């Protein structure tokens, strides 16, 4: 599902204009991104948690030339852990 498809679906169900729905969806995503940028976790009950994790620096190798090593620096990554309700619905659908 794309952002556009989400906006159209919500607009149809709520009788709001697509422009209004797009504005709300975009602001929501902007605030989530802003909070993650600050290092804060985002928690939606029964949906899941977005959190920042620090990946340790490590040594990488080119499989074609294993003698060449590259230092991969420490970096921040966004992790998502699904909530119980979401996990149960996804697992039940398979």
Query: What would the pLDDT profile of 7-57 be if each residue is shown by its tens digit?
Result: 999 999 999 999 999 999 999 999 999 999 999 999 999 899 999 999 999
Instruction: Give the whole-angstrom CA distance, residue 83 versus residue 45.
Output: 7
Model pTM? 0.77
Q: Which residues pair with 51 in a beta bridge?
A: 79
Question: Which of 78, 76, 65, 69 has its CA nearest to residue 32?
Answer: 78
- DSSP class of residue 36 equals H
Q: Please, which pLDDT band fits residue 94 given cuts at 50, 70 and 90?
A: low
**CATH number, domain with residue 81:** 4.10.520.10
pLDDT at res. 12: 96
Are 76 and 62 part of one and the same domain?
Answer: yes
Are 46 and 88 part of one and the same domain?
Answer: yes
What are 48-85's pLDDT values in tens digits?
A: 999 999 999 999 988 888 888 889 999 999 999 999 99
**In the chain, how many domains are there?**
2
Q: Which residues pair with 60 in a beta bridge?
A: 70
């Amino acid at each position: 599902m794309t952002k556009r498809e989400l906006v159209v679906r919500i607009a149809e169900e709520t009788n709001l204009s697509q422009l209004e729905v797009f504005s709300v969806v975009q602001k929501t995503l902007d605030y989530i991104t802003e909070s993650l940028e600050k290092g804060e976790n985002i928690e939606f009950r029964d949906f899941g948690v977005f959190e920042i994790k620090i990946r340790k620096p490590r040594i990488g190798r080119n499989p074609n030339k294993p003698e060449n090593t590259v230092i991969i620096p420490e970096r921040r990554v966004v992790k998502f852990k699904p909530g119980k309700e979401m996990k149960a619905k996804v697992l039940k659908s398979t």
